[in-house]
Amino acid sequence: MSRISILDHDRCQPKKCHYTCIEYCPGVRMEEDTIVIDEKSKKPLISEELCSGCGICTNRCPFDAVSVINIPEALENPIHRYGQNMFELFHLPNVSDGSVVGILGPNGIGKSTIIRILSGELIPNLGNWEDNNDNDKKEDQTQEKWEKVIQHFKGSQMQSYFKNLSQGKSKVIHKPQMVDELPKFVKGNVETLLKGVDERGKFDEILENLDLENILSREIANLSGGELQRVAIAASVLRDGDFYYFDEPTSWLDVRQRLNAVKVIRSLAESGKSVMVIEHDLATLDAISDYVHVLYGQAGAYGVVSQMKGVRVGINAYINGFLKEENVRIRKQAIEFTVRPPTVEDEGEAISSYTALEKSYEGFSLEIDEGEIFHDEIVTAFGSNGIGKTTFAKILAEAEKPDKGKIKEKIDIAYKPQYIASDFDGRVEDFLYSFAPSYGSNIFKSEIMKPFSLEELLDKDVNELSGGELQRLAIATTLSKEAEIYLFDEPTAFLDVEQRLIAGRAIRKIIESKNAASLIIDHDIVFIDYISDRAMVFYGEPGLNGIATKPTDLRTSMNKFLKDLNITFRRDKETKRPRVNKLDSYLDRKQKEEGEYYYLKDK
């Protein structure tokens, strides 16, 4: 049987279109109740029995909210379905003692749903959404639901997993995605919190590995994003569980901290625990996982968990856009990386230049080498947290005055800060009216609205957007301004792999069309590799003093940066993506000897 209409509830905006789907549905015209309005949500409900899958509503819907999809025969029994015409999930990933299993897939494809199921927060309904009755939490009903699940998985590894879970015999630890919200639930200082959960007696070790000694006495409410993330990881690792789930453990962390997180999380698996990690930073996912599952399907409509694959093969399949075992194409084109550093052409005229700069705050001082930024280029800036990157951005944007030195030409800067305020009172559309000058223009529609999929967000309240949605809105708004330099502070946080690359391409297109330039601060090496023309490196002692090199070619920058970190990267033979070398492996030693931390010597 082919399958029928799915309605993406996030996109559907009946208030705006006045039920175009109902107006055009041939079934409704023949006076059949093919589409009716749901009393509660006021959104359309498409009858699974009456819908013929003609596709007319799909074409008419202005928001791309309805899709008629053919789900392959083999995918007839979902693990969970949220409701009629709602998202459904097929298959579950494997859990494996002593291993880290990575989950790779776009936003809206079911990753959080999987974690909610495996942690026992959501009892899967096996597609029988009529059974859903979230208000009804009677003990016997719960047992009945679990029985069905256990029965369903009879004979597989998951049978005993759910049996133990439902009987409270296994303990699940879950690090949530949005660590920014932690201060709402946890009060007090870091030391009290972490001592209180130290069931494995590893307080000192984890503290050292995650570099938390200096912030022990700090109140949770006063921590930065990266500090919250490390505290959240520490709190999970210190507890004694059987299964550990980490939902995006690296947002806000710098490269060194990402690798420390990899070490700490991997140590759980090495002591026999079962670990699962959702991650969009491909270099981190690669270093942390033993195996991966790729999630595919249609975001908002259905998600399928692939078979378990070795980590290299799985990530390569994702990059190539084709899953061999499943025989599914998940993207039209492969993502392409270049083996050689981008050639810095005859640079032409500088769009901005500055003399050597100095800036001090109490306890922190920053020195910046004289430098310049050219038209049409993307310069990335990398280095530890607390080393002065944002301070430099602010000086360039003239939001801060340097103590010494000056910006030589006065230029307009459009700036996306690292932490995005979501306290705007109103809808996304109102926000765009107020803050996106080119909103409504054709260029905005084709070069910004479309790549960042803003159409589906227009009617939503800004303060209810997810982290990724807010990020898309903030990048888009910045790009809609007239400026000479577009400055982005950590634009990849909460975006999935695809969205990161789309954002990179949109930024490139806009700056080239305006003969402008962009400065991007980020920690995702694969992303940096994909978008940089040149780079600047910030080094020194985080929180004490920072030194910034002038923008220079990527080979020189990467060598400087990685030498300080004592890590080397190699290129995957097949896809050319950068991969971290194991410390002291043959390649690691060889590359260090040659002084090539990132690009291999030409043969």
Could you give the string, one character per residue 275-314, with x where binding to ligand ADP holds by CB under 6 A and - elsewhere? -------------------------x--------------
Q: Which is nearer to Mg ion, 101 or 436 (CB)?
A: 101
CB under 5 to 8 A by kind: which of Mg ion, ligand ADP, none does 390 bind? ligand ADP
CB under 5 to 8 A by kind: which of ligand ADP, Mg ion, none does 364 bind? ligand ADP
Give yes or no for residue 108 binding ligand ADP (CB under 6 A): yes
Choose, by CB under 6 A, the member of 326, 543, 545, 570 that binds ligand ADP.
543
Q: Hey, what amino acid is at 439? A: Y
Q: How far is the CB of 199 from ligand ADP (least distance, A)?
A: 28
Helix (H) or strand (E) holding 498: helix 497-514
Cβ-proximal residues to 343 (8 Å cutoff; 6+ apart), any chain: none
Q: Apex CA 598: angle with CA 592 and CA 600, to 5°?
A: 80
Could you give the string, one character per residue 406-445, with x where binding to ligand ADP holds by CB under 6 A and - elsewhere? ----------------------------------------
User: Could you give the CA distance from residue 346 to residue 77 in angstroms, rounded to a whole number?
Assistant: 59
User: Computed from CA positions of residues 520, 524, 529, 530, in that sequence, does the dihedral angle turn out positive or negative?
Assistant: negative
Could you give the string, one character per residue 63-82, with x where binding to ligand ADP holds by CB under 6 A and - elsewhere? -------------------x
Give yes or no for residue 490 binding ligand ADP (CB under 6 A): no
Give yes or no for residue 540 binding ligand ADP (CB under 6 A): no
Q: How far is the CB of 543 from ligand ADP (least distance, A)?
A: 4
Choose, by CB under 6 A, the member of 391, 471, 532, 557 that binds ligand ADP.
391
CB contact at 8 A, 218 and 228: no
Say how many C-beta atoms besides its own lie within 10 A of residue 1's C-beta: 7
CB contact at 8 A, 559 and 264: no
User: Using CB under 6 A, which residues numbered 10 to 29 contact ligand ADP?
Assistant: 10
Strand locations in 299-451, DSSP E?
A: 302-305, 309-310, 322-323, 328-329, 350-354, 357-361, 364-368, 371-374, 378-383, 413-416
# residues contacting Mg ion (CB under 5 A) = 1
User: Could you give the CA distance from residue 275 to residue 97 in angstroms, rounded to a whole number?
Assistant: 8
> Residue 102: how many CA atoms within 13 Å on its side-chain side?
30
Q: How far is the CB of 246 from Mg ion (least distance, A)?
A: 12
Q: Which residue is nearest to Mg ion (CB)?
A: 112
Choose, by CB under 6 A, the member of 100, 109, 465, 507 that binds ligand ADP.
109
Give yes or no for residue 112 binding Mg ion (CB under 5 A): yes
Give yes or no for residue 388 binding ligand ADP (CB under 6 A): yes
Whose CA is closest to 480, among 499, 452, 460?
Answer: 452
CB under 5 to 8 A by kind: which of Mg ion, ligand ADP, none does 388 bind? ligand ADP
User: Using CB under 6 A, which residues numbered 323 to 362 contact ligand ADP?
Assistant: 361
What burial class does residue 79 get, using C-beta atoms within 10 Å of its C-beta: 0-12 exposed, 13-18 middle, 19+ buried? buried
# residues contacting ligand ADP (CB under 6 A) = 22
CB contact at 8 A, 171 and 245: no
Give yes or no for residue 251 binding Mg ion (CB under 5 A): no
Say how many C-beta atoms besides its own lie within 10 A of residue 391's C-beta: 23
Task: Transcribe 410-441 into DSSP letters.
Answer: ---EEEE-SSPP----SBHHHHHHHH-TTTTS
Q: Which is nearer to Mg ion, 232 or 393 (CB)?
A: 232
Which part of the chain contacts Mg ion (CB under 5 A), choosing from 67-75, 112-120, 166-174, 576-584? 112-120
Q: Which is nearer to ligand ADP, 10 or 588 (CB)?
A: 10
Choose, by CB under 6 A, the member of 34, 99, 112, 284 that binds ligand ADP.
112
Q: How far is the CB of 176 from Mg ion (least distance, A)?
A: 9
Q: Which is nearer to Mg ion, 112 or 236 (CB)?
A: 112
Say how many C-beta atoms besides its own lie within 10 A of residue 162's C-beta: 24
Give yes or no for residue 364 binding ligand ADP (CB under 6 A): yes
User: Could you give the CA distance from residue 63 to residue 500 in angstroms, rounded to a whole number?
Assistant: 23
User: Could you give the CA distance from residue 479 to residue 474 in angstroms, rounded to a whole number?
Assistant: 9
User: Could you give the CA distance from residue 500 to residue 280 in angstroms, rounded to a whole number?
Assistant: 9
User: Using CB under 6 A, which residues numbered 368 to 387 contact ligand ADP?
Assistant: 385-387
Which part of the chain contacts ligand ADP (CB under 6 A), choosing from 124-132, 372-380, 388-396, 470-478? 388-396
Q: Which is nearer to ligand ADP, 118 or 317 (CB)?
A: 118
Helix, strand, coil percentages (3-state) for the chain, rounded to 5, are 35, 20, 45
Q: How far is the CB of 204 from ligand ADP (least distance, A)?
A: 25
CB under 5 to 8 A by kind: which of Mg ion, ligand ADP, none does 368 bind? none
Cβ-proximal residues to 122 (8 Å cutoff; 6+ apart), any chain: 80, 113, 116
Give yes or no for residue 86 binding ligand ADP (CB under 6 A): yes
3-state secondary structure (DSSP) of residue 472: helix
Which part of the chain contacts Mg ion (CB under 5 A), choosing from 34-42, 104-112, 445-453, 561-569? 104-112
CB under 5 to 8 A by kind: which of Mg ion, ligand ADP, none does 386 bind? ligand ADP
Give yes or no for residue 596 binding ligand ADP (CB under 6 A): no
> Residue 40: how many CA atoms within 13 Å on its side-chain side?
3
Contacting positions for Mg ion (CB under 5 A): 112
Contacting positions for ligand ADP (CB under 6 A): 10, 82, 86-87, 107-113, 300, 361, 364, 385-391, 543
